[in-house]
Amino acid sequence: MSKIDGNVKANLINLLGGYSETLNFVEKLSETGELLFFGGAVRDIYIKNDQYPRDFDIAIKFTDEMKFNNIINDYEYYKNRFGGYKIKVSGIDFDIWDLNNTWAFKNTNLKPSEENLAKSVYLNIDGIVYNFNSNCLYADLLKETLMKSELDVNLEKNPHVELNLLRALVFKRKYNLNLSNKLKRVFRYYVDSTK
């Protein structure tokens, strides 16, 4: 964990502030518990990719779930099959999870924590978590990925392996990364199993 100089938070606030209600929504959410941004949006902010993310993934360490339920009632939302919420705010999607009930924490040996959320991803390039409330960044896995220029499988157990393999091809090109031997074996396995 590292306390950061505010660049991720400043960039995130600037990004959210560009849409009428999104920053207000995130600030209200932060009153329900600690907001842990993870995955693509915070990765792209960290890497300084200028594209607006298609969605924001947030896990919440709840302190007030009742307040959360009251807040989301003001927005268009639905509960997905994994127990998370998809909420649309000013045309932007937010995928929100109770930290204790994310798929990886319910289906693997990982214990729910901020640090482990960064380790609960299938691809190592997704290994980043930013705590909006405390301004802490967990990015060791992502930093190592970029330093080695190698895309790898981090946590094998995942409900969407095929989707992650497609994402790996996008990331390989987008970030100019090599595929690890382990990831190549997974690709071979899926190609051979479809013959």
Domain boundaries, the chain: 2-148
Q: What is the pLDDT of residue 60?
A: 98
Least confident of 3-7, 38-42, 112-116, 156-160: 3-7
Q: What is the pLDDT of residue 12?
A: 87
Q: What pLDDT band is residue 10 in, cutting at 50, 70 and 90?
A: confident
Token pair for 84 = 């998370």
The whole-number average pLDDT for the span 133-147 is 94
Please say if the pLDDT value at position 5 is more than 50. no
Task: Please tell me the distance from the alpha carbon of residue 53 to that of residue 167, in angstroms, as a whole number.
Answer: 15
CATH of domain 2-148: 3.30.460.10
Task: Say which residue, 133 or 81, is predicted with more confidence.
Answer: 133
Q: What is the pLDDT of residue 68?
A: 96
Task: Please tell me the distance from the alpha carbon of residue 98 to that of residue 119, in angstroms, as a whole number.
Answer: 16
Residue type, 36: L
Q: What pLDDT band is residue 195 in, cutting at 50, 70 and 90?
A: low
The whole-number average pLDDT for the span 65-85 is 92
**pLDDT-above-90 percentage for the chain:** 73
Please say if the pLDDT value at position 165 is more than 70. yes
Token pair for 61 = 């360490």
Q: What pLDDT band is residue 149 in, cutting at 50, 70 and 90?
A: very high
Q: Is the separation of the CB atoms in 41 and 14 below 8 Å?
A: no
